Chain A
Amino acid sequence: GENVEQHPSTLSVQEGDSAVIKCTYSDSASNYFPWYKQELGKRPQLIIDIRSNVGEKKDQRIAVTLNKTAKHFSLHITETQPEDSAVYFCAASIYMDSNYQLIWGAGTKLIIKP
């Protein structure tokens, strides 16, 4: 079946440095790629998303890039801060049984070291 692979599973970076999380997807028809942040004990929340008609999107310190040919997309966080510590999930929409569904990556635990 269709799947989304996410790497790394854990990422530790020094405060102020950049963090990059990568995902690959298998369905070439996927057209929507969101990233969610889940802080400890809280629900996942959307932080940024990208659609298949653009290659990059930025929102302050976070950005997402999409390479449709290679079927991968990445989350970039610059100037990391302690509050960026969380688990990040990527997802891709797939078209299945006449409907769109989100397929999720396994998550990346981001640790910001002071």
Chain B
Amino acid sequence: GAGVSQSPSNKVTEKGKDVELRCDPISGHTALYWYRQSLGQGLEFLIYFQGNSAPDKSGLPSDRFSAERTGGSVSTLTIQRTQQEDSAVYLCASSLNHRGDTEAFFGQGTRLTVV
């Protein structure tokens, strides 16, 4: 079956430009996470959506970062006025999240390079 899909796979952008990254979660999954992973580093939590609840935005590093999840399905992560330090792989994950069974399925990631 279809897994978590992210687009684009790679994005090169000029410093100062805005970028949008897209995540299509597995159908029926109510929970959706965005993470940032720099080369050789761990999973840096950015934002978490769960159903109709208010998202947990506690991981967003600055007000240049924002995310939406429309209709409880597709999510977009927007980075405004990109900086070189924003270069990383951005991973999206979704989970069914039933009664705490929170197995997360990851997308292949979007590799963002800011030049």
Which residues on A are within 8 Å of B, measured CB to CB? 31-32, 34, 36, 42-46, 49, 51, 89, 91, 93, 95-107
| CB pairs A–B below 8 angstroms (27 shown) | A32-B101, A34-B104, A43-B106, A43-B107, A43-B108, A44-B43, A44-B91, A46-B103, A49-B103, A97-B54, A99-B50, A99-B53, A99-B97, A100-B100, A100-B102, A101-B48, A101-B102, A102-B33, A102-B95, A102-B104, A103-B45, A104-B42, A105-B42, A106-B42, A107-B41, A107-B42, A107-B43
A89 touches B42 (CB 8 A): yes
Bound-state Cα–Cα, A100 to B50, Å: 9
Q: Which residues of B contact A46 (CB under 8 A)?
A: 103-104
| SS class, residues of chain A in contact with chain B | strand
| SS class, residues of chain B in contact with chain A | loop
Mask, B14-41, CB within 8 Å of A = 1, is 0000000000000000010100000001
By beta carbon, the residue of chain B nearest A43 is B106
Taking A34-B103, A93-B100 as known contacts, 7 extra A-B pairs with beta carbons closer than 8 A to each other, sorted by chain A number, are A31-B100, A44-B43, A101-B48, A102-B33, A102-B104, A106-B42, A107-B43
Distance (whole angstroms) from the CB of A100 to the closest CB of chain B: 5
B43 touches A45 (CB 8 A): no
Q: Which residues of B contact A91 (CB under 8 A)?
A: 104
How many chain B residues sit at the interface, stated as a range, is: 20 to 34
Most chain A beta-carbon contacts within 10 A, residue among B51, B100, B108: B100
Which 8 A/B pairs are nearest by Cβ-Cβ distance?
A: A43-B106, A99-B50, A107-B42, A106-B42, A100-B100, A104-B43, A31-B100, A93-B102
B100 touches A44 (CB 8 A): no
Mask, B71-115, CB within 8 Å of A = 1, is 000000000000000000001000101011111101111000000
B106 touches A45 (CB 8 A): yes
Q: Which residues of B contact A99 (CB under 8 A)?
A: 31, 50-51, 53, 97
Q: Which residues of A contact B48 (CB under 8 A)?
A: 101
Q: Which residues of A contact B43 (CB under 8 A)?
A: 44, 89, 104, 107
